[in-house]
Structure 1
Amino acid sequence: MSPLLRLRDVSTDIPLRHGVVHALDHVNLEVRQGETLGIVGESGSGKTMTALSIMGLLPSGGSVVGGEILFEDRDLLSLPPAEMRRIRGVEMGMVFQDPLTSLNPTMRIGAQVAEPLRIHQGVGKAEARERAIEILRRVGMPRPDKIADSYPHQLSGGMRQRVVIAMALVCSPRLLIADEPTTALDVTTQRQILELIDDLREEFRMAVILVTHDLGVIASRADRVAVMYAGRVVEATTTAELFRQPRHRYTEALMESLPGAADHGGGALYSIPGLPPDLSRPMTGCRFAPRCRFATEECRTTDVTLSAGEHQHACLHPVLQPRARAEAAAPVADRSGPQAGATPILSVRDLVKNYDGAGSLGRKAPQVSAVAGVGFDVLPGETFGLVGESGCGKSTVGRLIVGLEEPTAGQIVVDGADIATLDRRARRRMHRRVQLMFQDSYAAMNPRMRVDSILAEPLEIQQAGDRAARRSRIGTLLDQVGLPRRVLDRYPHEFSGGQLQRIGLARSLALEPRLIVCDEPVSALDVSIQAQVLNLMRDLQRELGLSYVFISHDLSVVDYMSDRIGVMYLGKLVEVGPARDVVRAARHPYTQALIEAVPSAEPGVAPRTSVAIKGELPSAQNPPTGCRFRTRCPLAQEICETEPPLAGGAHQVACHFPLRTAD
């Protein structure tokens, strides 16, 4: 079968005020009808620029300066703008990473989904609405006729992503490009979206280009893979062959950076040193050579092109041995971090947080039950992982622990003092012992302040030392997080995501706390940068005796970082136990469903569906009675209408029908 889409030596430039970024350099790709091509690589590798070049949606001033983009043998680069708009609206569709920014906040959902039909096919308003409702139904949207009259802000993240997919598919395109379609979603919603794309690909006989940095997504969903680095394709082959025996050293390094690639006995993840190159500067030789542990002088001076054959690679020193297959159930060594028998540094007891509901026209709405009776301890030197879907209340628990929110009821005891009973001055002093590491470090920093002021601010607020002592402390913090002291006069926008997260970690360490609450600290990072930050956090924990409450929806990261894990669902803890036991011998059906939803970086491993979650997360304004998971649980019976207690020894579960009993 001839390719539906072919890229031949495509080069793309993006002009800047002080130079030109050569975003793509002689890229060659192809995808056939009914096939899924995965494009993987770090941020800045050219993945998204490839998709935008195909769609003709490059940033202002950007242009394809060389090569051909052939869609059914028509060169898209030679078409007039009107014809390209028709192809982009009818024959090709694109799903963007952030659905909220892709939707018009002032238009109802039905009108937005119907818009391509009205513009490109001249369909009348009534017929377009009916077809929009039908495509919303086909993408699995509950009550599509009601959703059609809603606005984007009224929908959950997963529902908004379904709307964007419906918009891309409403004209029955031949090619769908999905650019990081699940990056911001939790694992259960991610699995639903990926399965939806698979089903629709078969139904519409579409070709799919799946752009992602998640190797697990690629392994389970793509037929073939292209690995990109610094604007070039460095390896291309079938998915099974790539994961069986990666050839390029960059691909090998990405796989070694995955959390599952290290043991839990203190073994560090492999982290790729340095950063991708500046694409506005001339380069010679292999572009990965400055970061490659196997590079030779020949690599630095020889421009390596893709080899011929089914498994193409551009590496002078390729991997020769097949990749060892990961054994997820293999026993691992216990971590030595927590001090067994010690007094907990943090004790949370019967914690409750309710918010007043948002009513309209002065009407009082039901309260939002964000946290409903949560309790756990954290020992000195221990990492307690808190995991669950978006909306489960885990971030609210974190904000309550650090005093950014006041609890409705319950206790939060840090070093023997209940935060809820402290006055404002005492609570401010408590911040010396408890700090928060934010998910988005850039948003948490004042963009008008330089790094030296950002790091000095908590020291000044707490009146810690004189100016000389603060300056010395700031230098020590930069040394601890692995940043040079010359960055002190730079602003937040001048840093990469990984560097910003290091600065955020340095700020949380400024007052020498004993406990740090880490709220999704690596969820927005590439796998290679994620490995650097996780290694750094574990090293600092051992060096400084820190305790962490590590909040995340990524079970593989939580498993790697944590000594114990608490699983939250709709404001309640449903399972708590040692990390190894929770991940490898889950007792609650919800925990098992989360585990099964995590994409495996092993092609050919069929996704498990022993516990399939049904429907959307219920509203926290009207949570189900009894077990809050019962409305989505395949094992639920009448007794589940009464609330099960969190019971057991070291491994506790709140379920009337646990999957496993205590040993």
Structure 2
Amino acid sequence: MEVPTQPLLRLRDLSTDIALRRGAVQALDHVNLEVRQGETLGIVGESGSGKTMTVLSIMGLLPTGGRVVGGEILFDGRDLRGLEAQELRRVRGVEMGMVFQDPLTSLNPTMRIGAQVAEPLRVHQGVGKAEARERAIEILRRVGMPRPDKIVDDYPHQLSGGMRQRVVIAMALIRSPRLLIADEPTTALDVTTQRQILELIDDLREEFKMAVILVTHDLGVIAGRADRVAVMYAGRVVETATTAELFRAPRHRYTEALMRALPESAESGRLYSIPGLPPDLSRPLTGCRFAPRCGFATDECRTTDVTLTGDAHAFACLHPVTDRATIAPSAAREPSASGAAKPILTVRDLVKEYDAGGAGLRRTAARVSAVAGVSFEVKAGETLGIVGESGCGKSTVGRLVAGLEPPTSGEIVVDGADVTTLDRAARHRMHRQVQLMFQDSYAAMNPRMRIDSILTEPLEIQRVGDSGARRARVSELLDQVGLPRRALERYPHEFSGGQLQRIGLARSLALRPRLIVADEPVSALDVSVQAQVLNLMRDLQRDLGLSYVFISHDLSVVDYMADRIGVMYLGKLVEVGPAHQVVRAARHPYTQALLDAVPTPDPGRTADAGSAIRGELPSAVNPPTGCRFRTRCPLAQDVCATEPPLAGGTHQVACHFPLRQEAAAGA
């Protein structure tokens, strides 16, 4: 589609402050951006860079204490800062739409889906209840919602994450806006749902002739979806260019550092991590804001206020990258020295079912098949990665192994002892051997406890040492995870996401376990912080001889961390093998579809539409017979109604028609 020459939206020297008790945070400092009709502008950067604050300033939805203190927000030639409140609401409700990062918190839990989707029609257009309902059903159908005539009467908690994201997209589009702003729309979604949502936004952009602003910290998402990219750091735009040009030859040292921190760019088996932390925006800053973290900074960088220079490719850097930047393939991980080691964990025929009975007198005997006959082992010093879509059962396996839930049947053998047959006291002692690292460390910590109490608590519960020994152990833990001793006096809310994950890792190490179950430990982190946490986990594994069960939906991260990978689908393992073989020579069609859905930092790579997984995940209450993937598999035949065994040598696959059969024969 031909892109108009005049911008639909233009920001000129936009500056935004957030008032605090003492002073103010300069969240945005002279931001200049523009986006044209039919164009997608990607905005990337670390947390705190100003991405979300930019779009909230545009929408007039700043948090308490926030206000635009300078510049212009020109939408179709009108400065939104000069509009009356009622006119601004009309523009925001009719001509602009916004998709927020967390759809669950964006939806009213007490309102039905149809009423929420239709609300803009009733508020801004006075449409009647019956007509609004019909139009809500139609827009839900256009965003790919299954059974929209039924969904309109559901509540948000009854929908999956991907379905809720479709609802908030429908809400943003029901008035056919000219500008759609998507703020981290796929951060918490697995790769297949992520691909569906991003393709949906692309299709709707074409259909509605919209401009799109896509905010994300995932460079792979930007590479495949945006026409142009703006890189933000510490409240400023530091580089902007077409997507192809930015990934071909980034000029700003911060952009280069973000790309080097990707798992795909691992050098010598180790991720690059950007040193230091972003600056404190509540204090006056001089010079290049990235200079304290840049290995190429000079005194001139620290004293000179660098502004964007250039036209089609503009950047604010006195010592820009001159060589062509490329993303090298990730170095294959050196296999752990666990080949002859005994298993620290053996799982045999693990089953977990939940009661799905109805309420009141109509209770049924229906059962949710969360885990259905899973078997695997983890050797000392080894990392087993478990991947799959949301709802596949991978986190349930982690909770069962960590002892947070009892299995319905099967064996969990830790260091030679079947945990499922032990009495309560013995299981309690066994927890020393296996610890769980949670996805959301903040939610897993008591906000009223200081860090010293949080780290000491497991030692007290297990009655390890006296008070002096416990203090010494806590100090040792802080050293191991790279945090200062003064952190002990602070509360969880005083730390960044990366620091909280370090604290969560320290707590899981307190009892000197042999196995750590890490459940999505870096899924919500920026690429630079993610690199720091992953490097730390591998360093500790080497130094302490740890074993990991590493659960994630990000195959690039699992490829970097794991020795072996197990792929789960609807409660079953469908493929298990060495990490490099599973990622580079997948044998199960589901595994290949997951790999094809992973966004990569390569604008020239186009996704294979034929490899996309079809349809929604079947119900775990009534899963398909035989191969559970057959209802969505392009290779399925009648024989797939019988269950295939997990078979093979070191690389096993449960499929009647495995990919690369010639490779399987030689395994």
TM band (smaller chain):
over 0.9
Residue 158 of structure 2 aligns with which residue?
Answer: 154
Out of 228, 232, 246, which is 1:228 matched to? Answer: 232
Query: Where do 1:228-377 residues align within 5 Å?
Result: 228-262=232-266, 267-327=269-329, 332-333=331-332, 335-365=334-364, 366-377=366-377
Query: Structure 2 counterpart of 1:345, which letter?
Result: I
Q: Secondary structure at the match of 2:11?
A: strand
Deviation of 1:609 after TM superposition, in Å, equals 3.3
Residue 612 of structure 2 aligns with which residue?
Answer: 612
Q: Secondary structure at the match of 2:167?
A: helix
Query: Structure 1 counterpart of 2:415, which letter?
Result: D
2:625 corresponds to 1:648: no
Residue 26 of structure 1 aligns with which residue?
Answer: 30
Residue 489 of structure 2 aligns with which residue?
Answer: 489
Query: Structure 2 counterpart of 1:451, which letter?
Result: I
Residue 471 of structure 1 aligns with which residue?
Answer: 471
Q: Secondary structure at the match of 2:449?
A: coil
Query: Structure 2 counterpart of 1:408, which letter?
Result: T
Query: Where do 1:63-462 residues align within 5 Å?
Result: 63-262=67-266, 267-327=269-329, 332-333=331-332, 335-365=334-364, 366-462=366-462
Q: TM-score by structure 1 length?
A: 0.98
Q: Secondary structure at the match of 1:411?
A: strand
Residue 660 of structure 2 aligns with which residue?
Answer: 660
Q: Secondary structure at the match of 1:548?
A: strand
Q: Secondary structure at the match of 1:345?
A: strand
2-side partners of 1:390 and 1:19: how far apart? 43
2-side partners of 1:612 and 1:507: how far apart? 40
Deviates more, 1:199-208 or 1:124-133: 124-133
Q: Which runs of 4+ in 1 moved over 4 A?
A: none
Q: Residues 334, 251 of structure 1: CA spacing in aligned structure 2 closer, same or farther, 3 A cutoff?
A: closer
1-side partners of 2:263 and 2:193: how far apart? 21
1-side partners of 2:426 and 2:68: how far apart? 60
1:373-415 Cα distance to aligned partner (Å, 9 max, x none): 0000101100000000111000000010011010111000010
Deviation of 1:339 after TM superposition, in Å, equals 1.5
Deviates more, 1:607-616 or 1:177-186: 607-616
Q: Secondary structure at the match of 2:289?
A: coil
Deviation of 1:334 after TM superposition, in Å, equals 5.0
1-side partners of 2:38 and 2:205: how far apart? 6
Mapped contact 2:260–2:327 kept (Cα < 8 A): no
2:538 corresponds to 1:534: no
Deviation of 1:336 after TM superposition, in Å, equals 3.9
1-side partners of 2:518 and 2:465: how far apart? 26
Mapped contact 1:35–1:207 kept (Cα < 8 A): yes
Mapped contact 1:596–1:609 kept (Cα < 8 A): no
Deviation of 1:62 after TM superposition, in Å, equals 1.1
2-side partners of 1:507 and 1:362: how far apart? 45
| % same residue | 80
Query: Structure 2 counterpart of 1:349, which letter?
Result: R
How many equivalent residue pairs?
Answer: 658
Q: Secondary structure at the match of 2:86?
A: helix
Deviation of 1:361 after TM superposition, in Å, equals 2.1
1:499-547 Cα distance to aligned partner (Å, 9 max, x none): 0000000011111111000000000110000000000000000000100
2-side partners of 1:630 and 1:338: how far apart? 37
2-side partners of 1:113 and 1:76: how far apart? 25
Deviation of 1:127 after TM superposition, in Å, equals 1.3
Query: Structure 2 counterpart of 1:155, which letter?
Result: L
Mapped contact 1:337–1:542 kept (Cα < 8 A): no
Mapped contact 1:412–1:418 kept (Cα < 8 A): yes
2-side partners of 1:610 and 1:70: how far apart? 41
Query: Structure 2 counterpart of 1:253, which letter?
Result: A
Deviation of 1:333 after TM superposition, in Å, equals 4.8
2:10 corresponds to 1:6: yes
Q: Residues 334, 522 of structure 1: CA spacing in aligned structure 2 closer, same or farther, 3 A cutoff?
A: closer
Out of 39, 45, 52, which is 2:56 matched to? Answer: 52
Query: Where do 1:510-659 residues align within 5 Å?
Result: 510-659=510-659
Deviation of 1:658 after TM superposition, in Å, equals 0.7
1-side partners of 2:382 and 2:298: how far apart? 42
Q: Residues 203, 223 of structure 1: CA spacing in aligned structure 2 closer, same or farther, 3 A cutoff?
A: same
2-side partners of 1:326 and 1:262: how far apart? 8
1:346-383 Cα distance to aligned partner (Å, 9 max, x none): 00000000011141224324111000000001011000
2-side partners of 1:279 and 1:114: how far apart? 40
Unmatched 5+ stretches in structure 1: none
Q: Secondary structure at the match of 1:159?
A: helix
Q: Secondary structure at the match of 2:175?
A: coil
Deviation of 1:321 after TM superposition, in Å, equals 0.7
Deviation of 1:335 after TM superposition, in Å, equals 1.4
Deviation of 1:160 after TM superposition, in Å, equals 0.5
1-side partners of 2:335 and 2:570: how far apart? 32
RMSD: 1.0
Unmatched 5+ stretches in structure 2: none
Deviates more, 1:204-213 or 1:604-613: 604-613
Deviation of 1:129 after TM superposition, in Å, equals 1.1
Q: Secondary structure at the match of 2:281?
A: coil
1-side partners of 2:66 and 2:612: how far apart? 45
Deviation of 1:610 after TM superposition, in Å, equals 4.2
Mapped contact 1:349–1:412 kept (Cα < 8 A): yes
Mapped contact 2:259–2:327 kept (Cα < 8 A): no
Deviation of 1:326 after TM superposition, in Å, equals 3.0
Q: Secondary structure at the match of 2:49?
A: coil
Deviates more, 1:356-365 or 1:242-251: 356-365
